[in-house]
Amino acid sequence: MKDGEKRNINRMRVLLLVPVFLAMLAAGAYPASVDDNYIKGYAASVLEREFHASPSSLTVKDGVIYLSAVELAGVDSGELVTALLKIKGVERVEILGAGQAAPKDISADTHRDEREKAEEGDDPYKEAGSTKDRLFDPLMADPRWPHFSMGYQTYTDDGEFGHVFAASFGETLPVYKWEGPFGGRWQVGVQAAGFIVHDLDTASWDLINEDYRGGVAMYYRREAWSGLFSIYHNSSHVGDEYLLHKHVDRVNFSYEAAQLKVSYDISRAYRVYAGIDYMFSPDPKDLKRWWTQYGAEFRCTQTYFNGLLRPMAAVDIKNRQENDWHSEISLAAGVKLESEDTLWNKINIMLEYYNGNSPNGQFHENYIEYVALATHFYF
């Protein structure tokens, strides 16, 4: 079988898996809010039937039942907790003393109100630990989103590389925010990042490629909608050690581009996005100009292991005119480490899969496939 035919088969296989992956994300997006409503109704029934109590303080959030001790006078708290813990989906029961307030439960019926409050700066749809000033959240599965990361990649389809260390350093820096037209919030910022890859199968871990990207961006958010428009420069540089050992001709690969992305939060857990980029001033001059990007993300509304781990997953797909619109597919699934006392609440640990043309500029004509274990840090 020829290499081209093999790659087409691999692409078709992955494309068939993507709808399954998306269905898994969609299926996982809703249970938290539905379960909270179910738990609240079931708990109210148990309280009424077994303890003859109807406390107005009954609140459920992420599987945790909150009750006020003041409204439970005369009720055996031990028996009450034991009965409520038998309800499917209950993580724990907390009985609050006087002056303590339960967190507000967010159900399907309160989504609209919560989104309106988000316009005032308190946005429950932001992932835990995210920066409130960031109007457009990072694209988790995009290999070229500006942020800090490092990962170990094992190539399954590339004749030249086997094991690769990949890292990025960069961020989105907000500059100015204001209330603008169309009833939303606007922000101007700067995006800058560097992306490097090293060949771990060489004695000195040869630097293979480094890409640099920087530009200005404008962000917009209104309720569940958010958008990004930016103009940026991207340049690619082959590693000196790679050049010395491989004796290949260096390609001057660089361009400026404009991008437009639109994102919609279907629920607290599920997000979809799509956009387009247009390249201008490319080098080489014959590079084709357009590509599309779209994807979906899932951030579980519940945490596990005493609030330490939050499951997450994402898919990102690019189709470039330069590559005859073949799909570049990036899948990621893992957990976010959460601790309000440390910077751990900003770190994702992800298992990743990539299939398509290389995102590394000097090697953009190469078809690659790899699996990776990576950490990502977002301010």
Tens digits of residue pLDDT in 165-220: 999 999 999 899 888 788 889 999 999 999 999 999 999 899 999 999 999 999 99
In a 10 Å sphere around its CB, with 0-12 CB exposed, 13-18 middle and 19+ buried, how is residue 226 labelled? Answer: buried
Residue 367 and residue 360 in contact, taking contact as beta carbons nearer than 8 Å: no
Residue 371, CA distances (Å) to 37, 307, 351, 379 in order: 38, 28, 7, 25
Considering 110, 133, 159, which residue would you say is the last residue of a domain? Answer: 110
Is 78 domain-assigned? yes
pLDDT of residue 111 exceeding 70, the answer is no
Q: Does 238 lie in the same domain as 272?
A: yes
Structural domain span for residue 69: 33-110
- CATH code of residue 361: 2.40.230.10
User: Given this model, what pLDDT does residue 98 score?
Assistant: 66
Residue 196 and residue 166 in contact, taking contact as beta carbons nearer than 8 Å: yes
pLDDT-derived band at 101, boundaries 50, 70, 90: low
Q: Does 144 lie in the same domain as 84?
A: no
Which whole number is the average pLDDT over 57-65? 85
Q: Does 265 lie in the same domain as 207?
A: yes
Q: Does 106 lie in the same domain as 221?
A: no
Q: Does 140 lie in the same domain as 60?
A: no
When computed from its CA atoms, the radius of gyration of the chain, rounded to whole angstroms, is: 24
pLDDT-derived band at 130, boundaries 50, 70, 90: very low
Considering 87, 110, 133, which residue would you say is the last residue of a domain? Answer: 110
User: Given this model, what pLDDT does residue 100 score?
Assistant: 64
- CATH code of residue 72: 3.30.70
Is 348 domain-assigned? yes
Q: Does 213 lie in the same domain as 92?
A: no
Is 23 domain-assigned? no
Residue 295 and residue 271 in contact, taking contact as beta carbons nearer than 8 Å: no
Extended strands (E) in the chain:
59-61, 64-68, 92-96, 148-155, 163-179, 185-199, 207-222, 225-238, 253-265, 270-283, 290-299, 309-320, 327-337, 347-357, 367-377
Q: Does 143 lie in the same domain as 50?
A: no
Is 4 domain-assigned? no
Is 118 domain-assigned? no
For residue 15 the two structure tokens come to 């494309």
Q: Does 128 lie in the same domain as 41?
A: no
Domain count, the chain: 2
Is 189 domain-assigned? yes
Residue-wise pLDDT for 15-43, tens only, equals 666 666 666 655 554 444 446 777 888 88
Is 9 domain-assigned? no
Q: Does 133 lie in the same domain as 40?
A: no
Q: Does 169 lie in the same domain as 92?
A: no
Residue-wise pLDDT for 351-379, tens only, equals 999 999 999 998 998 999 999 999 999 87
d(CA 111, CA 105): 10
Q: Does 64 lie in the same domain as 203?
A: no
Q: Does 127 lie in the same domain as 82?
A: no
pLDDT of residue 265 exceeding 70, the answer is yes
Considering 64, 86, 110, which residue would you say is the last residue of a domain? Answer: 110
Is 117 domain-assigned? no
